[in-house]
A and B are shown apart, each in its own frame.
Chain A
Amino acid sequence: MIVCVAVVGHQNNPLYLQSFTEADDALKLHHVVHCSLDVIDERVNNPKRNAPTLNETFLGLLYPTENYKVYGYLTNTKVKFLMVTTDLDVKDADARNFFRKFHAAYVDAVSNPFHVPGKKIASRSFGARVSTIVKSFGSGTTV
């Protein structure tokens, strides 16, 4: 199950942050998200030579903790997408698929002429679309 998703701008400014848990642990999840940003920076600035995934947008597993796993995605425009999940074995393909849909939703949201670049995404339809994507994660269905 995905417990939290985030979109972070190129200056590490939060653009969208949403948790999907009933319990009151939003702060903890946000902390995990912020810690993962450092991991992204590290990955991008010190890339492993000859790695096949050198410039891929999908960054893979970033930050495993006891309870959570954080996956990351970095676009060409230096926007970071993060996903915190409690699932123990996440298939890479599933995570990739999730980020692809998430990215598509983001692109549609920022293409709104009333959206101000660099500001938080306030669109309700974006929120609803992300919820749908999150709910369908891992269930094998397509949105």
Chain B
Amino acid sequence: MGREVAGSCLDGVVMEMVSAYCGRFYAAKPELAAGRIEAIGFQVGHQLSERYTMDRPRFTDHLEAIKFICKDFWSELFKKQIDNLKTNHRGTFVLQDNCFPWLTHVSLDPSMESTDATESDPALLGDTAAQTTSMLLYFPCGIIRGALTNLGIPCAVSADMSNLPACSFVVRIKT
């Protein structure tokens, strides 16, 4: 798949924003940084959902709105759709993306895990790497939450990454 220059720039901006918030502004308080990044995503999602729902009829129920996020909204953002949508029909939706574009350039260094003979604790190192990566996911979480909130569906969104670059977003609708 060809990539536009602007797409690569955006990837860079997102990564740099996350690292700026985690490493500089809120270096001591990672949970504050997460909240801040999520809030930026919220505003972005809020504004984008207004634009992308312009020419479509109103949604009748939650599922339709979530489907809109999975298909049209995701294709506008990432030129691809969500790969798998699961729901328990009681307000929880799992949106799974098998190749999330913002994670395609992230790799957890395998040498870190293999050189466990060194003095540092390998579990600790792997843990921080995973933590850094999970920071990248607060922004898209915020986007989803912002878009859904603007569509009249208050919800909580969390992300879960199992094996890169696949990840899943869990949407819990507040009743």
Assembly CA distance A88 to B47 (angstroms)? 36
Q: Number of B residues whose C-beta is below 8 Å from A?
A: 16
Give the interface of B toward A (CB within 8 A).
43, 46-47, 49-51, 53-54, 56-60, 150-152
Extra pairs beyond A76-B53, A76-B58, A107-B54 (20, CB < 8 Å):
A10-B152, A55-B60, A57-B58, A74-B58, A75-B50, A75-B54, A76-B49, A76-B56, A76-B151, A77-B49, A77-B50, A77-B53, A77-B152, A78-B152, A79-B50, A107-B50, A110-B47, A110-B50, A111-B47, A117-B43
Assembly CA distance A117 to B46 (angstroms)? 9
Query: Taking chain B's interface residues, is the majority helix, strand, or loop, or is none over half, making it mixed?
Result: loop
Assembly CA distance A77 to B152 (angstroms)? 7
Contact A111 B50 (CB under 8 A): yes
Assembly CA distance A121 to B58 (angstroms)? 23
Q: Which residues of A contact B50 (CB under 8 A)?
A: 75, 77, 79, 107, 110-111
Q: Number of A residues whose C-beta is below 8 Å from B?
A: 18
Within 8 A of B (CB), among A1-59: 10, 54-57
Assembly CA distance A46 to B47 (angstroms)? 29
Interface centre among A54, A56, A75 (most CB of B within 10 A): A75
Q: Is A104 part of the contact surface with B, judged by Cβ < 8 Å? A: yes
Which of the residues A10, A76, A103, A111 comes within 8 Å of B59, measured between beta carbons? A76
